[in-house]
Amino acid sequence: MTLAVGSPLDQAAPVPSGRAAAPRPAGDGDAVLRRQRSRESSARTYARSFPIVPVRAHGMTVEGADGRRYLDCLSGAGTLALGHNHPVVLEALRRTLDSGAPLHILDLATAEKDDFTNALFDTLPTGFADRARIHFCGPAGTDAVEAALKLMQTATGRRGVLAFTGAYHGMTAGALAATGNVAVKEPLPTAGEVTRLPYPYPYRCPFGVGGERGAELSAVYTERLLDDPSGGVVAPAAMIVEAVQGEGGAVPAPDGWLREMRRITAERSIPLIVDEVQTGVGRTGAMWAVQHSGIVPDAMVLSKAIGGSLPLAVVVYRDDYDGWLPGAHTGTFRGNTLAMAAGAATLRFVAAEGLAERAAAVGARITSRLTALRTELPVIGDVRGRGLMIGVELVDPAGEPDACGALPPAPELAVRVRAGCLERGLIVELGGRHDTVVRLLPPLTISDEQADAVLDRLTDAIAAAASTPAGTASGTAATAGQGRA
Ligand SMILES: Cc1ncc(COP(=O)(O)O)c(C=O)c1O
C-alpha cells in the first residue's frame, strides 16, 4: 500500500499575503542537488539520506522544491520543539527585529539575554536553579560540552573524564573524546583521558544479561572500578552522561541507575555533568530529562531546542564550580539576540502549554503501537524511548540471537526503511549501533492525526522493506557509521 502524499495533514501553511515568499532555488531542485553534490564536502550527512531541497516548512511539514510534502520526524536533529516556523517563535523574532536590538553583541548584557536567562532559570529543576550560574558558549552543543568539561577540570584540578558506551557529545576534541562511536573518531584517535563505562542498554546488554540486572551491574562495575587502586582510573574531573542517549539509539537510562550515578559521583566528589542537548525542553516527557529521576546534577549542557530553531548553547552549573578566570571559555558568537528571543518564547510556550506532558502521552501511544507490531513484523527487534524520543531497532530475524535474545543488526534493511519512509512522505533518520535504529523526534506539537500518519507510513515502509530482497535501496546512499548531530 502506498499512502498518498500531500493530504491535508501535510499541508504547509500558505505564505501570508504582503510578505515575500522564500527564494526559490535557482534552477530546479535536481540542479540544486547536483551542485550540492559537486561542491559540498563528502562529510555531508543528512543531505545524503534526504535528497530533497526544502523550500518551505511549517509545523511538522516540510515542502520540497518539487512540491512534495513530508512529515518531519527529524526536527533539525531534535532542535525544533515547536516544529518549523511556529507562530510564537516567528512573533518573537519579528518583535526583536522591529525593536532595533543589536543582533550580535558578543557576551554583553542585553534585555533579550536577561529575559532568556529568566525564562530558562524558571524551568530548571528545583535545587539546581537557585544556585545556578550560566555561561553562554559558541552556538553549538559541542562547544557547551567543551566548556562543561573545562569548567570541571579547572574546578577539580584533574583531567580525566568518565563517559559511556553509546554516548554522543559532539565533534570538537574533548566532546569527541567523550563520544562512543568509533567511526567518527577515525582515522586519528582523539586525545583525551576518557574512561569508558557501560551504559545500560537492555536489548544489547554490555554484560550479556539484559533487563534491570544489566543496569545494576553497570552501577556495581562503575563503583568498584573507581575504588580499585589498580583499576587504572586516576581521579577524574567529571562524569558526563545523557539521561536518554539520542544518537546512541534512543536508549533511556533507568531512573534508578541515574540516581546511582549521582550517588557514586557525589560520594567521590566527582562533578556530574548531564548532557541535555537533545533531551531538554520537554522532549522526553519532562521539561528536563533529569527530572524523571529527581537527581540534581552539578552541570547541565543545553543547546538545540533552547534556541527556538536558532543556534544557542549554554552550560549551567552550580555556582561553587565557578573558578574560571575572565575569558576562560570565550568565543565570538555568544550573543545571538534572535536565538535568545526565540528560545525564551519557546521555553515559556512549552511550559505554559504543558507540552512535556503532551510529549509523554503521545510518545507512550506511538511506542505502544510500534511495540504491538513486533509480532507482525519480526524485523522490529526492539522499540524504546521516552516521550518523543523514540527508537525502533531493526534486526535480521533469520540471524542467531545473542545471549539476551537480541538478533543481529540489519543496517542495509534500515537504509531501505529510511528511503521507503521518504518515498511515503516521512522524514526519519537512523542512529544507534550499526545505524539500525529508526529514530522518531517529531515536534512536541504533533497532533494525534499526524502521529497516526507517521505510524502508518513507518509501518508500511518497514513492511515493504522487510518483504523486498536486499540490495534494492533507492534514492539514498548508506551513511552507516557516520556521525550526525
Ligand atoms: C547529547 C548531545 N550532545 C551534544 C551534541 C552536539 O551538539 P552540536 O551538534 O550542536 O554540536 C549532540 C548533537 O546531536 C547531542 O545529541
Which of 142, 172, 300, when mutated, tests ligand 1's pocket best, judged by the most ligand atoms within 8 Å of its CB?
142
Note whether 416 and 485 are within 8 A (CB): no
Using CA of residue 150, residue 155, residue 157, residue 162, what is the dihedral sign? negative
- Coil, strand or helix at 197: strand
What is residue 469's predicted lDDT score, i.e. its pLDDT?
73
Torsion of CA 128, 138, 79, 195, to 10 degrees: -70
- All structural domains of the chain with their residue ranges: 8-72+355-466, 88-352
Tell me the pLDDT tens digit for each residue of 128-148. Answer: 999 999 999 999 999 999 999
What is residue 61's predicted lDDT score, i.e. its pLDDT?
98
What is residue 478's predicted lDDT score, i.e. its pLDDT?
43
The strand ranges marked E within 142-228 are: 161-164, 194-197
Cis peptide before 125 (omega within 30 of 0): no
**What whole-number distance in Å separates Cα of residue 70 and Cα of residue 421?**
9
- Cα separations in angstroms, 230 against 161, 224, 225, 262, 458: 18, 11, 9, 23, 50
Nearest CA to ligand 1 atom 4: 169
pTM over 0.85: yes
Is the CB of residue 283 below 6 angstroms from any atom belonging to ligand 1?
A: no
What is residue 18's predicted lDDT score, i.e. its pLDDT?
45
What is residue 468's predicted lDDT score, i.e. its pLDDT?
86
Is the CB of residue 276 below 6 angstroms from any atom belonging to ligand 1?
A: no
What is residue 5's predicted lDDT score, i.e. its pLDDT?
43
What is residue 152's predicted lDDT score, i.e. its pLDDT?
97
Of all atoms in ligand 1, which is nearest to the CA of residue 242? 1
- Coil, strand or helix at 483: coil
Note whether 279 and 244 are within 8 A (CB): yes
Which of 149, 304, 430, 441, when mutated, tests ligand 1's pocket best, judged by the most ligand atoms within 8 Å of its CB?
304
Q: Which residue's C-alpha cell is 533518520? A: 429
First to last CA, the chain: 33
Query: What parts of the chain have a pLDDT lower than 50?
Result: 1-6, 14-18, 474-483
Of all atoms in ligand 1, which is nearest to the CA of residue 245? 1
Which of 168, 179, 199, 283, when mutated, tests ligand 1's pocket best, judged by the most ligand atoms within 8 Å of its CB?
168
Write down the architecture of domain 88-352 according to CATH: 3-Layer(aba) Sandwich (3.40)
Q: Which CATH number fits domain 8-72+355-466: 3.60.10.10, 3.30.460.10, 3.90.1150.10, 3.30.300.30?
A: 3.90.1150.10
Is the CB of residue 247 below 6 angstroms from any atom belonging to ligand 1?
A: yes
